[in-house]
Amino acid sequence: MMRDKVHIEDLRLETTIGPDSWNQINPQQCYLTMEMVTDFSKAAKNDELTHTLNYAVICREVGKFVGSRTDWGSLGNLSKCVTGFVMSNFAGVDSLKLKLQTRTGHIRSDDISCLIEENRRKSEEISIRGYDLLHISNLKLLTLIGVFPFERLQKQYVRLGLELPWPKQVVSHASVGSLIEKVVEHVEHSKFLTVEALAESVAKVISSDSYFTQHGDLPIGVKVIKLNAITATSGVGVSCVRSVNELKNLKKPLILPEVGEYETTNGKPEVILHNGLSVAPSDAWNTAYLAFGSNVGDRLQNIRTAIELLNQRESIKVKSTSSLFESEPMYFKDQESFLNGCLKIQTSLSPHKLLECCKEIEYDELKRVKKFDNGPRTIDLDIILFLNKAGEPVLIDDEKLTIPHKRLLERSFVLEPLCELVPPNFVHPLTAEPLIDHLSQLYKKGNDEDRLLNLVPVGLSGSTVNFLKFQHVTEEEVFGSMVGRGSKAATLLMAIVNTTPDSFSDGGKNYLDINKQLSYVKEICSQTLRLHEKLIIDVGGCSTRPNSPQPSEEEELRRVIPTIQAIKSCSDLPSDKVIISVDTYRSNVAQQAINAGASIVNDISGGSFDPMMFSVIAANPNVAYVLSHTRGDIGTMTKLTNYEEGQDSKACEYIFDKICRTSETVTTRAIGRELAERYFAAINNGVARWQIIMDPGLGFAKNGNQNLQIIRQLPLLKNFSCIWENGDYVSFRNLPWLVGPSRKKFIGKITKEDNPSDRDFATGAVITSCIGFGADIVRVHNAQDCAKAVKVADALYKQLP
């Protein structure tokens, strides 16, 4: 096997090889590099030149040979002639790799070269390609390329390298000037999203040149480097090799169209883009995600009206809504704050027709007045994403519409609600990164305006909607290094006011004595509102302890309605700080309590005891609903604490990124699934997501150890999500959670206290832990003392004053 080589690098030669950079026929300086395989073992052994290739002689003779003609016609012709001269005149060259380069062959490239290989022995050890190569390197061009919104706003530099085959039996290679002009024209007028698509499209353009259509199935190589993509590098990119036959079968690469290229005209169907392919909309239902925002007038009513108007269209079905968020205005700051969120819809409309529909709702039906960009608005409906009937993303970029929305990735008030509606593995169509990762990156920037408060409506003060405000805390923020940097929303206190004679804790204390009940409420408020801005009073007239006898509906109404009316009408209580809740699982009691002034319905059954409960909540859109987990009924729940894996339905796929399938998480998964079933039932019966507060139901169909597990794993429940077999997705992200451990039996078992009222001190410790694990509301009997524990927990875990 020959291992010895003689090298000549960058031998300068000057001759005419065709047009120069300015398309003039003048002599050009060329650079010749040769790698010659030989055997110089004898020369090395005897230290003599007799048995080796004399590179000085080769350089001199090649120089004379090149100078023997005034015009070689082309770089390729000179390369082949020099190769033949060396192989004919120097017998010691067994094989040759030759590179001949010009740096002045074209104004667009400072490196055009020919690479030729020849083998005298034709041995198996040295394999030679059936073609030579023309290299065109360092083509620096401006083009619109990239997936990020800011990359779509201006062109950027890319550097191309082309590797073009040249059959050995053919004298001349493809025309350098012609190929470069074709590539320049294509690249500088393209709008590709990825360098992969750009590289393959350039290969396609080259393959269409007549030179390649005449010379068989040759491989074409293209390399594309983005010069400014990552600042820590000189460039990043891709390369590919495609045969001419492969490129024949490849559809002609499409460039994102200019406006008007695919609009509906003369009744012809509009054509939309999906990953560079034309797709005509059909009668099938597509999926779209809309962002909404309002900061003029009754913001929530504007949003509800817009949703109703969308649903009234036969071509649109609103499938789900996000939570409701409040955000400070961007761009133009001197205006009111916005209510924001997202919708998932199904539609038979094309993207442009859907846009027309949204604008009709904005301007014609809700009378939006646009005085300037990013100004106040009654309603704003933006198309964020659009998926065809197969669930594939549709890409549009024209003067009327851009999908995905070009500012999606810079707006937490769009990304956050959108992440409630799509699974965590849903990727942005352009960046190919999960949306949830983009949201995390946005939060890591540390901008306070990116951390949003989600709002739950709790009644009216005159014509103004009152809201409870919460902030999502991720599992990583609770368990990881971000403890104390999550939610900045104060934990809410819910004080229990029982009007029953048989409550497990304080039964009969104020039974049917309105004056005593009102005095008790006043006392609670005077103590707790020193430390807290708001207080929820939860009025209950029906004991829900296991196996307790249940009063009639009439009796429950007789107990709770007068108390609610008295609290609501009491001038000594600050109406803007005291929120009334009714603790009931009966729909009629809930409705009458709402009429009397209740703003929250606290239902321990999650709507399972009374099928009309969800209809009542849906009919009262300014009322919040606490959806609790339980099993069975009051008489059977204590027997239904088996959460073994066999009990865990396979009807959904869990998305617990951080959960291992341990015995302790079986209960958490099962409770999450069962709560998701009740959540779906509520949503399908018209309850808005932003009305819902979740409750894991401590003590209801759970034993003591399971209650403790639920508290420890509350972050997992708060971040629970699953996909049902039919493709529906549910996420608990951003939903506020109420936890009610107060005086429960499992606490008494730990502290060995049989009397529930003796458990207040331990209750304070438990609710502090609950807040540390992410509870948003804690429900307690002794509100005065627990208010202090809540305040300390907020200072400890949320860094609130």
Distant-in-sequence, close-in-space partners of 55: CB < 8 Å, separation ≥ 6? 6, 7, 8
Name the DSSP class of 685.
Answer: T
pLDDT for the residue 248? 85
pLDDT tens digits, one per residue of 295-323: 888 899 999 999 999 999 999 999 999 99
pLDDT for the residue 336? 79
Provide the percentage of residues in the chain whose pLDDT is more than 90: 58
How far is the CA of 650 from the CAs of 37, 417, 660, 683, 733, in angstroms? 68, 27, 17, 22, 22
Q: Is 586 a catalytic residue?
A: no
Half-sphere exposure of 551 (CA within 13 A, CB side): 20
Which of 456, 491, 458 has the alpha carbon at shortest distance from 787?
491
Which of 490, 487, 492, 489 has the alpha carbon at shortest distance from 458?
492
Cβ-count burial 616-648 (b if 16+ within 10 Å, e if not): bbbebbbbbbbbbbbbeebeebbeeeebeeeeb
pLDDT surpasses 70 at 482: no
Instruction: Give CA–CA dist 178/183, Å, rounded.
Output: 9
pLDDT for the residue 529? 95
Identify the active-site residue in 368, 586, 631, 779. 368
Q: Which residues pair with 324 in a beta bridge?
A: 455
pLDDT tens digits, one per residue of 248-288: 877 654 444 333 333 333 443 344 444 443 444 555 689 99
Listed range (179-188, 503-512, 566-575, 673-682) with the worst mean pLDDT? 503-512
pLDDT surpasses 60 at 522: yes
Identify the active-site residue in 377, 411, 673, 678. 377
Q: Other C-beta atoms within 10 Å of 435: how many?
A: 24
pLDDT surpasses 80 at 98: yes
pLDDT for the residue 657? 43
Report helix, strand or coil for 677: helix
pLDDT average, residue stretch 682-690? 95
pLDDT average, residue stretch 362-381? 75
Instruction: Give CA–CA dist 561/551, Å, rounded.
Output: 15
pLDDT average, residue stretch 174-195? 90
Q: What residues does each domain of the chain span?
A: 1-128, 133-255, 272-451, 455-798
pLDDT for the residue 782? 95
pLDDT surpasses 80 at 446: no
pLDDT tens digits, one per residue of 617-628: 999 999 999 999
Highest mean pLDDT among 178-187, 333-342, 543-552: 178-187
Identify the active-site residue in 94, 380, 648, 794. 380
Burial of residue 381 (CB within 10 Å: 0-12, 13-18, 19+) is buried
pLDDT tens digits, one per residue of 99-158: 999 999 999 999 999 999 998 865 544 456 789 999 999 999 999 887 766 676 678 999
CATH of 1-128, one of 2.60.40.1080, 3.30.1130.10, 3.90.1150.10, 3.30.420.480: 3.30.1130.10
Distant-in-sequence, close-in-space partners of 582: CB < 8 Å, separation ≥ 6? 538, 539, 540, 560, 564, 589, 590, 593, 594, 598, 600, 601, 602
Q: Does domain 133-255 have CATH number 3.40.640.10?
A: no
The answer to whether residues 86 and 78 touch, using CB atoms and an 8 Å cutoff, is no
Instruction: Give CA–CA dist 622/682, Å, rounded.
Output: 15
Listed range (124-138, 227-241, 352-366, 390-404) with the worst mean pLDDT? 124-138
Identify the active-site residue in 94, 108, 242, 382. 382
pLDDT tens digits, one per residue of 11-66: 999 999 988 888 899 999 999 999 999 888 877 676 666 667 889 999 999 999 99
pLDDT for the residue 152? 66
The answer to whether residues 283 and 350 touch, using CB atoms and an 8 Å cutoff, is no
Instruction: Give CA–CA dist 539/497, Å, rounded.
Output: 5
pLDDT tens digits, one per residue of 748-800: 999 999 999 899 999 999 999 999 999 999 999 999 999 999 999 999 988 88
pLDDT average, residue stretch 598-622? 96
pLDDT surpasses 60 at 464: yes
> 272-451 and 455-798 share one CATH topology?
no
Q: Using 50, 70 and 90 to split pLDDT, how confident is the model at 328?
A: confident
pLDDT for the residue 14? 95
Q: Does 424 sit behind a cis peptide bond, omega within 30 degrees of 0 on the bond before it? A: no
Q: Is 380 a catalytic residue?
A: yes
pLDDT average, residue stretch 527-549? 90
Q: Using 50, 70 and 90 to split pLDDT, how confident is the model at 192?
A: confident
Topology at the third CATH level for domain 455-798: TIM Barrel (3.20.20)
pLDDT for the residue 397? 80
Single-letter amino acid code for the residue at 409: L
Highest mean pLDDT among 226-240, 385-399, 412-426, 490-504: 412-426
pLDDT for the residue 157? 93
Q: Using 50, 70 and 90 to split pLDDT, how confident is the model at 653?
A: low
Mean per-residue pLDDT of the chain: 85
Report residue 541 as tokens.
């007239």
Name the DSSP class of 749.
Answer: H
Instruction: Give CA–CA dist 787/764, Å, rounded.
Output: 9
Q: Is 377 a catalytic residue?
A: yes
Instruction: Give CA–CA dist 563/596, Å, rounded.
Output: 9
Q: Any long-range contacts for 201-208 (C-beta under 8 Å, 24+ apart)?
A: 201/253, 202/160, 202/162, 203/240, 203/242, 203/247, 204/242, 204/247, 204/250, 204/252, 204/253, 205/253, 206/162, 206/164, 206/179, 206/182, 207/242, 207/244, 207/247, 207/248
Higher pLDDT, 374 or 744: 744
Instruction: Give CA–CA dist 243/217, Å, rounded.
Output: 6
pLDDT for the residue 275? 42
pLDDT surpasses 90 at 356: yes
Q: Which residues pair with 540 in a beta bridge?
A: 498, 583
Sequence-ordered strand ranges (E) for 125-276 = 131-143, 156-167, 219-226, 236-243, 272-274
Instruction: Give CA–CA dist 735/718, Å, rounded.
Output: 7
Single-letter amino acid code for the residue at 165: P
pLDDT for the residue 509? 63
Q: Which CATH superfamily is domain 272-451 in?
A: 7,8-Dihydro-6-hydroxymethylpterin-pyrophosphokinase HPPK (3.30.70.560)
pLDDT for the residue 187? 93
Report residue 413 as tokens.
């008030």
Name the DSSP class of 110.
Answer: S
